[in-house]
Amino acid sequence: MKILFRSWFLIRLIGHDVYRGALREKMMYSFLLLSFLFILLANVPYVVNDPGVFENQLPMATALQVGFVAINIFILLIAVFVSLSTMQNYLAFERLELLLFRPLRRWQIMAGVLLGLYKMILINWFLMTAGVWLVIVSHEPTLAFFVWKGFSVMALLGLLYVSLVVFFYSLLPNVIAGVMAVFVVIAGFGVPSAGRAFAGLSWPQLLEQMIGLALRLLPQIHALLAIALKELLIFRIPIAPAGYLFHAAFLMILLNIVACLIFERKSQF
């Protein structure tokens, strides 16, 4: 038990240091500022106040859609670029050298990096969601708590993006890690189409099973976005969230464990 507490203490310590490092990334503030400019557009349907312009959609629905797109894009950008830049700084050998001879396991360093980046992405998600929420509550006679519930899926997505970047960075410690993470996210969008495309061909059974497994393992971004849209009451999508949320959380934990193990092994210089 004492070892577990000590481990958690060290991970939190490194995590806080990584978080402080991430907050120094000027890029993050640029993205955040841009996202706020985007989120401000959510005011437009209320200002125009003409349902005909927005295909008779309620102003709140249009405002939520704007917020949804803004958070979706900027969470991905922040997760990929800020995480990558923070890791390149934090895991540079000249900095690691100061940590490696301390009573600290190498996987704890990586776990701390993950924790710090998670903290950074959650703060960004909170600020962006608060922006959308403020726009809504300033125009509607409701506290609209479902906005937080709906956008919480975006927080999960943000954490998943960070896990993907960290995982690929542990394999390839350079910018290619970011490219790979984006590829996986794009692939995650296209899982249903890819599934249909492969199903129409007569593959040997083993190959078909392997492709099926690979598609199931990919983060189901399409489904998570659908859950967010459903919770935001924008569309009535018939989807059961539990399975997809569990899948995302499982994938995240799996990626994190593998990243920590790879780092533990690769940092034995």
Partner 1 sequence: MAEQSPAIIKVCGLGKEFRSSALFSRARVRAVWDLNFEVRRGEIFGFLGPNGAGKTTTLHLLTGISKPSAGSIELFGKAFRCPQTWPLERIGFVPENTLASEYLTVTEILTFFSRIYGLTDDVTIDRIQSLLEMTGLTQERFVLVRKLSMGQRRLVDFMLALVNDPDIIFLDEPTVYLDPLAVERFREAVLILKNRGKTIFMSSHTLPLIEKLSDRIALISKGRVLKIGERQDFLRQGSMEEEFLRLIKEDR
Residue numbers of the site for partner 1 (CB under 8 A)? 6, 9-10, 13, 17, 20-21, 24, 89, 92, 94-95, 97-105, 268-269
The residue type of 98 is L
Q: Which is nearer to partner 1, 140 or 264 (CB)?
A: 264
Work out how close the CB of 264 gets to partner 1 at its nearest, in angstroms, rounded to a whole number: 9
Let me know how long the chain is. Answer: 269
d(CA 93, CA 137) in angstroms, rounded, equals 48
Work out how close the CB of 22 gets to partner 1 at its nearest, in angstroms, rounded to a whole number: 10
In the numeric block, which tokens belong to residue 231? 């919770």
Q: Which is nearer to partner 1, 116 or 188 (CB)?
A: 116
Q: Which is nearer to partner 1, 100 or 218 (CB)?
A: 100
Work out how close the CB of 254 gets to partner 1 at its nearest, in angstroms, rounded to a whole number: 24
Contacts of 182 (CB under 8 A, 6+ apart): 76, 80
d(CA 265, CA 1) in angstroms, rounded, equals 25
Q: Which is nearer to partner 1, 45 or 116 (CB)?
A: 116
| Contact criterion met (CB below 8 Å) for 175 and 263 | no
| Contact criterion met (CB below 8 Å) for 87 and 169 | yes
CB atoms near residue 241 (< 10 Å):
15
Work out how close the CB of 220 gets to partner 1 at its nearest, in angstroms, rounded to a whole number: 37
Work out how close the CB of 127 gets to partner 1 at its nearest, in angstroms, rounded to a whole number: 20
Q: Which is nearer to partner 1, 20 or 216 (CB)?
A: 20
The separation between the first and the last C-alpha atoms of the chain, rounded to the nearest angstrom, is 30
